[in-house]
Structure 1
Amino acid sequence: MAALLLAGCSVTVKDPGYTPPAPLPPLEQLKQAALTDAAPFAAAGDVLAFVTADRNIVCALTSARGPHLDLPYEPNNFSDPGNRKLDTVPVAHCELAVYPEPKEADITDTCSGTGLGYLGGSALLTQGKTTYGECRSGVSAMEAAYGPRGSVRGGTGSQGKGPQEPDPQGNKDIAELRVLADGVNLERNGLRCSAYEGGVACGNISGGVAFFISRDHYELVPPEGKNTVAAPSKAPKSP
């Protein structure tokens, strides 16, 4: 940028030769961004959850028992007595309201052998693995709330159903979750998430594994510097 002094006033004009720096890769963003205080993002138990400023992404730094995730914004079986014998591991999970389709190479489930129903709009990070998409019938909670036909209008609570009584387990509707500001990190049990460049990166720095998701593309960073899978989107979609 250049400043011109005219009659005691400064006028800023764009420098035609200026090229903005490229955005940081997901792992670099997670390494370099400052950590923010986790307390305001407490959702239920020791789970941390947030939404992005544009209300397109909701994420939770949480735990899993087998395939059962402890999510404050989705019904789940994490606490069922039969699942308590399973190992509890830290994970990061995100959902999108508007999202790209998964690449064929990233489809990791046959959906009970049907080969149908594997949809984009969700990402999962464990200590050593990332996935994009899942077998799902219908829409996710985030898509139901903020997708093209979503029911939330101006954050009315309980996915558009008006103010509700507090959940006894401390769970929160997506509309009640705090916004994670761009450019900062939230961390729980060695996993970090950062909102930047119109999306969210989550990763395990020590394991060298991460993902980045946004409304028009996603990127999976496998562990140990294996080939990164970057998927530009076809048209963003919401089934």
Structure 2
Amino acid sequence: MLRKLSLLVLFLVAVTINTAPATFAQENNATVHGTFYDLWTFAPLENIVIEVYSNSALRMQTISVDGTYSLSLSPGSYTIVGKHYRGSFLASDAQENVILQSHDNITLDLIMFPTFEENELPENYDNTIAEEWGEAGTAWWPILGAALALALVGVVVAFYYLKILSKKKLGMKKVEGAPSVKVVGLPDDLREVMDAITESGGRINQVELRQKLPYSEAKVSLMVADLENRGLVRKIKKGRGNIIILKE
């Protein structure tokens, strides 16, 4: 009787030792769960074949009827693959890599992408539309070339216009405190009169103007009259003299 009791105790100890590692491993497992979605509708895709790989070796294979899954795996690095078949034809698939640690609880959703290859296209597939689009694209090239040419001409015209405008601005003589007056094309003597008026702030007495210039009173009067006819100055009578003012 004592011998039988001893054998029973040894058997229970052996069973406990053998099952302890497995129990410990299950207690440290991680959980990864999620849903397989269709690429076009983003709705859960039914009847997914799920394969779990570790170190390129298949570790688990199961089927999800409603497109959701939940896997209990020991810590490690895994590749989760989902496959959706239509008959014997692989219509779409997805895969993701995941690293699991003890007691992890990870949500991993996957989007199923079509797996069409050129030799797997349906027999009734018609690429006429694609060919027509290609021909239409070729027909657009001349129009695109003409548009680019017109744009280039516009850039050149704008460049020369700005260049001419900048030259005209350089031909304007500006003095601080006096109006800006065009002096391009004036004779030298009239330019001297304009400079003298400008240096005086755009307003000067005709007597003072004659004193600034190396010309006679009659010559200065004629030059002032010439500038007035050109619309560059205005002469205002004041007492026995005249005030010469630059026009803006």
Normalising by structure 2, what TM-score?
0.20
Using CA pairs below 8 Å that are at least 6 residues apart, which structure has the higher relative contact order?
A: 1
Larger C-alpha radius of gyration, 1 or 2?
2
- More helix by percentage: 2
Normalising by structure 1, what TM-score?
0.20
